[in-house]
Amino acid sequence: MNPSAPDLLSEHACFGGVQRFYQHASSTIGLPMKFSVFLPPQAQQGAVPALVYLAGLTCTEETFMAKAGAQRLAAERGLALIAPDTSPRGAQVPGEADSWDFGVGAGFYLDATQAPWATHWRMESYLLTELLPLVASALPIDGQRLGIFGHSMGGHGALTLALRHPGRFQTLSAFAPICAPTQCPWGQKALTGYLGADRTAWIEHDATVLMQNQPVAPYPGGILIDQGLADKFLAEQLHPEHFEAACAAIGQPLTLRRHAGYDHGYYFIQSFMADHLDFHARGLGL
């Protein structure tokens, strides 16, 4: 692989645009990393704004592009879509293969500090300092007009990265995000594994705490979250009510929509994808 440019693995015509899958040698991760990009037809005339989508536990760079039904909508609105893999692959870390059920091994969109994860599990730095600059330089994408959204673990990633890096993303939304990882089993196990037992390090990656500590509302145009009420993880793992309270306390506009009958999967995500793309398109000036 060329370390300075992504290698195209496959390309597919899609709604007048193109769906591509790439791999590159990541200097941040120290392993090959894969990602996918959908370029709308408008990208043939020049750089377009983009949405970064962060997927959830057990997903890859393919999941969103195959299951979310987003390309037709993105083509209509002139939005590129960027979906990184969720995690390093092939590090041969003991326990990597059997640890996905509780979170350690999955990326969680942070930089690990604890052995054996610290060498390769550096997803926050990878996304912000390597992948997004790479995509903006290699493709007709406007790196100054970015939105971010995600699902479950990726919803956690979208909320925390947006709050930890002010100004990097102009718009923010999520589907069924892990809103308070310091208060749920998934988050507690992952944060212990990656950051150690000291909980003072954990709160830097908890969206609820990060929002509580904002001096002013970071997204005056609002944040959009959709949550299914038939989601089996809602009560124990997701805790959107904590993030809702944190937003209310500092005056951050939040639209948190709770939907009867919807679960945690991609049928739920498909059902409300158009609303999210419209939300981002407005915020990005389209």
Q: Which residue bears the tokens 């290698």?
A: 7
Report H helices in the chain.
63-67, 71-77, 123-125, 132-138, 153-164, 185-195, 199-202, 207-212, 240-250, 266-283
Cα angle: 178, vertex 183, 185; to 5 degrees = 75
Rounded to whole angstroms, what are the CA distances from 203 to 5, 9, 117, 207? 35, 38, 19, 8
Looking at residue 238, the DSSP 8-state letter turns out to be: I
Q: Are strands 141-150 and 80-84 parallel, antiparallel or unpaired?
A: unpaired
Q: Are strands 223-228 and 254-259 parallel, antiparallel or unpaired?
A: parallel
Catalytic hit among 26, 36, 152, 173: 152
Q: Which long-range contacts (CB under 8 A, 24 or more apart) does 128-137 make?
A: 128/161, 128/165, 128/168, 129/28, 130/26, 130/27, 130/28, 131/26, 131/33, 131/35, 131/82, 131/84, 132/52, 132/82, 134/5, 134/6, 134/24, 135/6, 135/35, 135/37, 135/50, 135/82
Check if 264 is active-site: yes
Catalytic hit among 24, 205, 239, 264: 264
Check if 280 is active-site: no
Give per-residue burial for 60-69: e unless 16+ CB within 10 Å, then b. Answer: bbebbbeebb
Q: How many residues does the chain have?
A: 286
Distance in angstroms (rounded) separating the CA atoms of residues 127 and 166: 15
Q: Which residue bears the tokens 């007009």?
A: 145
Check if 278 is active-site: no
Residues serving a catalytic function are 152, 231, 264
